[in-house]
């Protein structure tokens, strides 16, 4: 009997959507007005302590890329995104270079449903 594989850190890293308030600094003359400073970011939690959270767009074992560190005092909402780990049993057909754009499946609806 083969030993069970333990989940790697890639499989257990949380993916979150955070809403937060940004800071704004302007060094030139401008009209005095309040800016909308509400932001949303999505990423893998690669570091978190009592004061900050670091999200990365790309992760691999022991490394990350495209990260942002946000002070927790600026967070207004944190929502975990659950990923389904389905095994792909069917491989889609490759698109031939001679196919017209109108023959390709429309994936816009799938993207909007994410």
Question: Which pLDDT belongs to residue 38?
Answer: 95
Look at the chain and count its residues: 114
At 110, which helix (H) or strand (E)?
A: helix 108-112
Residue 69 located in a structural domain: yes
Residue 51 located in a structural domain: yes
Residue 111 located in a structural domain: no
Residue 62 located in a structural domain: yes
pTM above 0.85, yes or no: no
- Give phi and psi for 5, each to the nearest 5: -80, 135
Residue 95 located in a structural domain: no
Residue 68 located in a structural domain: yes
CA 9-10-12 angle, to 5 degrees, is 60
- Cβ(53)–Cβ(75) below 8 Å: yes
- Cβ(44)–Cβ(14) below 8 Å: yes
The string of pLDDT tens digits covering residues 53-83 is 999 999 999 899 999 999 999 999 999 999 8
Question: Which pLDDT belongs to residue 16?
Answer: 97
**Domains of the chain: total:** 1
Full domain range(s) for residue 56: 8-24+33-79
The string of pLDDT tens digits covering residues 3-49 is 544 455 677 889 999 999 999 888 898 888 877 899 999 999 999 99
């Amino acid at each position: 009997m083969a030993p069970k594989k333990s989940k790697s850190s890639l499989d257990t890293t949380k993916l979150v959507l955070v809403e937060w308030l940004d800071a704004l600094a302007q060094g030139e003359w401008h009209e005095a007005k309040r800016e909308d400073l509400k932001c949303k970011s999505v990423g893998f939690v690669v570091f978190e302590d009592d004061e900050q959270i670091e999200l990365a767009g790309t992760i691999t074992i022991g490394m990350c890329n495209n990260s942002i560190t946000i002070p927790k005092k600026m967070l207004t909402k944190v929502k975990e995104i659950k990923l389904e780990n389905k095994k792909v049993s069917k491989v889609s057909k490759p698109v031939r270079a001679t196919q017209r754009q109108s023959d390709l499946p429309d994936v816009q609806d799938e993207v909007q449903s994410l």
